[in-house]
């Protein structure tokens, strides 16, 4: 079965929320360039974050301009709900670092690996995965993306700053936990996305 596009019925607040999230994200990135000592990411691969985070937040809009607007079989209008979910992980991570939550709240890092990976995976599924996937295929797709993204993230952290920081002593245990939590977050995203799409696909 070929997935067919359906008119968007997303409320306007999703558009405003997605745009606000991007404005806040780029504002925090700009402030990190101007006042690096106050950014919360100094010594935590700040240069890599300043490059990767804007790319992560702009992947969907750039794809839409280059391809999706005229050829997407999933969306007739820009998927603001997916865009918001794909922007929030980068924004929340920057906010957490700005307020030093990763180093002062013991459970914050674990929670973020679970929640932010769920947001990111759900956004990717809503933006790019066909609506008519079965529950099993939706979950497998979510796990494939989520687990792979988690591995890439951990490799990036290791190369960028972990290997030369005091965190190296506990990096193995922390990395295993982060990978497990990210994968569980992706699993939850797959299940929720399938349930959220089910009425629409059956309509």
Query: pTM of the entire structure?
Result: 0.87
SS3 for 6? strand
Taking only the tens place, the pLDDT of each residue in 53-68 is: 999 999 999 999 998 8
Structure tokens belonging to residue 190:
């797959």
CA gap 50, 132 in Å, rounded? 37
Taking only the tens place, the pLDDT of each residue in 161-173 is: 777 677 666 777 8
Q: With 0-12 CB in 10 A as exposed, 13-18 as middle and 19+ as buried, what is 10?
A: middle
Q: Which residue has the higher pLDDT, 171 or 203?
A: 171
Range in 37-51, 117-131, 181-195 the model is least confident about = 37-51
Task: Examine the pLDDT at 201 and tell me if it is beyond 60.
Answer: no
Range in 8-17, 57-66, 82-91, 98-107 the model is least confident about = 8-17
Helix/strand number for the chain, H first, E second: 8, 0
* CA 54 to the chain's CA centroid: 12
CA gap 137, 201 in Å, rounded? 15
How many CA atoms lie less than 13 Å away from 116 in the CB half-sphere? Answer: 22
- Calculated CA dihedral for residues 105, 159, 186, 17, nearest 10 degrees: 70
Domain boundaries, the chain: 12-202
For the chain, how many residues are written? 203
């Amino acid at each position: 079965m070929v997935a067919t596009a359906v008119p968007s019925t997303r409320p306007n607040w999703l558009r405003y929320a997605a745009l606000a999230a991007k404005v806040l994200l780029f504002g925090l990135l700009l402030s990190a360039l101007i006042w690096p000592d106050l950014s919360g990411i100094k010594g935590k691969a700040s240069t890599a974050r300043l490059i990767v985070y804007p790319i992560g937040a702009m992947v969907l809009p750039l794809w839409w301009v280059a391809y999706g607007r005229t050829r997407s079989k999933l969306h007739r209008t820009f998927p603001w709900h997916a865009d918001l979910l794909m922007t929030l992980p980068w924004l929340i991570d920057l906010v957490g670092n700005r307020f030093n939550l990763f180093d002062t709240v013991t459970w914050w890092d674990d929670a973020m690996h679970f929640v932010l990976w769920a947001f990111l995976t759900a956004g990717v599924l809503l933006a790019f995965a066909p609506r008519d996937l079965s529950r099993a295929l939706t979950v497998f797709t979510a796990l494939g993306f989520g687990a792979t993204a988690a591995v890439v993230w951990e490799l990036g952290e290791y190369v960028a700053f972990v290997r030369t920081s005091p965190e190296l002593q506990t990096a193995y245990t922390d990395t295993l936990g982060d990978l497990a939590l990210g994968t569980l977050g992706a699993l939850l995203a797959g299940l929720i996305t399938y349930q959220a799409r089910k009425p629409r696909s059956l309509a």
